[in-house]
Amino acid sequence: MTAVRDVVIVGGGPGGFTAAVYAGRANLAPLVFTGAPTEDDPLRLPGGQLATTTDVENFPGFPDPIPGPELMDRMERQARRYGAELRGTNVDSIDLHRWPFRLESQGEVIEARSVILATGARAKWLGVPGEASYRNRGVSACAACDGALFRGQGVAVIGGGDTALGEALYLARLARDVHVLHRSQDLRASRILQERARATSNIRFWPGTRVDEVLGDGVRMTGLRLRAGDATIELVVDGLFVAIGHQAATSLVAGQLALDEQGYVRTEPGRTATSIPGVFAAGDVHDPHYRQAITAAGSGAAAALDAERWLAESI
């Protein structure tokens, strides 16, 4: 007979680990599946996106930059200290139509009275040569995370929507030059963002341009090979910010939990509760707006508190 767990947390980023700390301190003995690389997602690692981030400069309590893997290692050790059981594997399936909920991982079946989904979201990438090689060595998908590393340097932003222009405006305060590259002739961004960006002196637009290759010296990226019509151009820049969207990791719960039009988990306003009682969401899997380590950690704390109260009231 399989023992039923009070809390199972799926995902080991800032949201998942913070939820584990709070659930552990509440004597709920959480089981955490921190994830592992897959063929479809080779960058899936315990610690989420921060596990592949070089320096984190905006997490409170660290006046000096801290490497992303070290920050996540500290969170992991803190979760273990309070009784969380961590497994570096993936959940292969979840059945939320029955209660206790049923999860399967590597052939083992686990039953849970509550589930905290903290599977995160991943950036959509271009898929061009050199992009993966220079990721976190000049190539990024988060200006708020990495923009400060490019003070006084030249950078490029890929995309023509609100996200891309928001990134460009943020980077324009830090970088020497910001090149906005977009494949269509027209931008998709809102008019107000277009006006602000066009009024910013160090932002230059490259309509009808695509990236063919990310260039580098083997250590860091050094530029981009672009295609504009029939012309090939080499643009010297120190950084590339890919802003063509994110995809929430919700394949496990698609068709079970209510998702929004972008594919993110819907939660009650101001809460982490989802459309199924006893299932909660933390971190980027339900947050298409901020996608920061600190906001993920905050929602992880909230999800654990919500789960604790739900268990006390419902069981």
Catalytic sites, residue numbers:
142, 145-146
| Residue for token pair 């029939």 | 230
Token readout for 34 is 């921190």
Relative to beta strand 108-117, strand 101-105 is: antiparallel
Find the radius of gyration of the CA atoms of the chain: 21
Determine the Cα–Cα distance for residues 309 and 305; give it in Å rounded to an integer: 6
Determine the Cα–Cα distance for residues 247 and 224; give it in Å rounded to an integer: 25
The two counts, helices (H) then strands (E), for the chain are 6, 19
1 residue type, one letter: M
Task: Give the C-alpha distances (Å, rounded to integers) separating 34 from 10, 64, 159, 227.
Answer: 7, 27, 31, 40
Beta carbons of 199 and 228 less than 8 angstroms apart: no
